[in-house]
Amino acid sequence: MAASIGIWAQGDLAGERVLYRWEAGQDSGFVSFEVATRRFRPADVGGRPIGDLVLDVVSGDVTGAADGVGSRLLSQVAAAILRGYARVGGPPATAHAYYH
């Protein structure tokens, strides 16, 4: 069974924080990427954090919780964004991921 996550930047890619919209099957949401610190947080449509769930890519730690947000899906979204970052040398405009 194949699965995918569609990820699109919302707004400015040059800021300290980039908001991404993601869709995976029937699920969707937003994630905030703190570029300098390489931290990801689930967010609302305005970019405000949901709960205190944080994925710190530098340390590899996932801390906190957010209602209705799984750390596994957050990790998959973050990994796709980081692959795009490595490819373009900065926050990518899109970062889709496909799983088989």
Q: Supply the pLDDT for residue 70.
A: 83
Q: Supply the pLDDT for residue 1.
A: 45
Sheet holding 97-99, edge to edge: 61-63, 54-56, 39-43, 27-34, 17-24, 3-10, 97-99
Q: Supply the pLDDT for residue 100.
A: 63
Partners of residue 9 on adjacent β-strands: 20
Rounded to whole angstroms, what are the CA distances from 6 to 29, 58, 98?
11, 24, 9
Q: What does the alpha-carbon distance between residue 9 and residue 99 come to, in Å, rounded to a whole number?
A: 21
Query: Is it the case that residue 43 has pLDDT exceeding 70?
Result: yes
